[in-house]
Structure 1
């Protein structure tokens, strides 16, 4: 009954054994996944994978690292693809100040344009944030992104910003870092965020949870994230699975 809200099964790391990876996830109780596409290469494959499996869905957007490469026709293309029956969100989008490929002002423009797109098609958004929390929150407020809401993907910041995002109508999604021994903020967030606003994810193939840290991540490992959240909140893992599954289905409009 696990819903992994953010996977990159369209990544090169899964080209040789994607079907086996999906089967391992099913064996661990993963019932739903969203494959996230973020450029011209990964978006079509995200949709292709979603078309192959009833329980897999897709998100389409443009990654901030590559914002400088985005053209007007790319934005139009994403808007057209948003009408596909298996597309449930726009993203991932946002700001990434760790890498310097795309200037900050370009990233902000692309971010704002995608929020506007999501509002036109009335779909939730998936936010990528790396070292840019203050600017992201400011843009979400200015663009009234709460009208569509969405996900703060792989949240790894302090609880005060999480509460600001919650006030804007966003969900907080926790991934592998909540299991890391040296990670404090995600653990506090896991205990402070209302359960009806909490989601879980792997962001595979990245950020594998303990004890698989440093290895290729995969959707089956989302169970380790749920187990840690259950432990931190003194809950049964079955309750965490049930609640986060329901939260994701409601947000994405999945029956």
Structure 2
């Protein structure tokens, strides 16, 4: 059974066939999913999904692209939601230097505030990192994020960056890019990450794996990610499913 540790099933791309998409995921052996609520609009829809389906969990936080929209009351809102039994992480949080939507200093402040909240609540965090590897690791170190750990969502950095994240107690998560023929670096990183420290995800509806690249991604396609991971790791699909399920339970403290 597979665990899609990062998906956006509440995205508008699924408005016409959301139930069918979820059903197809179950048919592909995806028994658990974590949906991500990352701003004022997606947190309520994420919570609704988690309360509707017993196999869907929630992560709630403020995305770095939306950092400039965060108000003081929003951090209190996230804290309140973290008491819900289906909320398993604060995220996705972090830094994004690709999209010029929030000033870096605002992203840094919002990132730090959410790490501090996670430490206060003893919750793992889900990290979004785009073109900001050094600053993400530096802030995680300065805020002593090793006290709570979490996951580097859809990791795109080098093995050197991955080692620093592993040293901080984080899991490294891989998605559709490891199925791309020209994706040398994520494949090399996955090959080196210890078997007890990696996860799989889709980030659907984005980052669709081969052979559906360019089309809408779905949680069911995490099976393709698992198959690619099995080839890279020299394992059977069933081994990858078992390992990543156990790792996800450990990372998100699901017992």
TM-score (norm 2): 0.99
1:25-72: CA deviations, max 9, x gaps? Answer: 000000100000001110011011011111110000000011011010
1:7-38: CA deviations, max 9, x gaps? Answer: 00011111111110000000000010000000
Partner in structure 1 of residue 123 of structure 2: 123
Partner in structure 1 of residue 107 of structure 2: 107
Partner in structure 1 of residue 27 of structure 2: 27
The unaligned stretches of length 5 or more in structure 1 are none
1:169-217: CA deviations, max 9, x gaps? Answer: 0000000001111111110011000010000000000000000101000
How far did residue 234 of structure 1 move?
1.1
Alpha-carbon distance in 2 for matches of 1:104, 1:197: 30
Partner in structure 2 of residue 42 of structure 1: 42
Partner in structure 2 of residue 182 of structure 1: 182
Alpha-carbon distance in 1 for matches of 2:117, 2:203: 24
Moved over 6 A (4+): none
How far did residue 230 of structure 1 move?
0.5
How far did residue 250 of structure 1 move?
1.5
* Secondary structure, aligned partner of 2:3: strand
How far did residue 99 of structure 1 move?
1.1
Partner in structure 1 of residue 140 of structure 2: 140
Alpha-carbon distance in 2 for matches of 1:119, 1:226: 31
Alpha-carbon distance in 1 for matches of 2:48, 2:138: 35
Partner in structure 2 of residue 73 of structure 1: 73
How far did residue 74 of structure 1 move?
0.6
Partner in structure 2 of residue 207 of structure 1: 207
1:109-129: CA deviations, max 9, x gaps? Answer: 000000001011111000000
Alpha-carbon distance in 1 for matches of 2:139, 2:254: 28
Alpha-carbon distance in 1 for matches of 2:75, 2:219: 29
Partner in structure 1 of residue 165 of structure 2: 165
Alpha-carbon distance in 2 for matches of 1:254, 1:15: 29
How far did residue 252 of structure 1 move?
1.3
* Secondary structure, aligned partner of 1:186: helix
How far did residue 168 of structure 1 move?
0.3
How large is the RMSD of aligned CA atoms in angstroms?
0.6
How far did residue 249 of structure 1 move?
1.0
Alpha-carbon distance in 2 for matches of 1:213, 1:158: 23
TM-score (norm 1): 0.99
Alpha-carbon distance in 2 for matches of 1:251, 1:158: 22
Alpha-carbon distance in 2 for matches of 1:251, 1:136: 19
Alpha-carbon distance in 2 for matches of 1:68, 1:54: 33
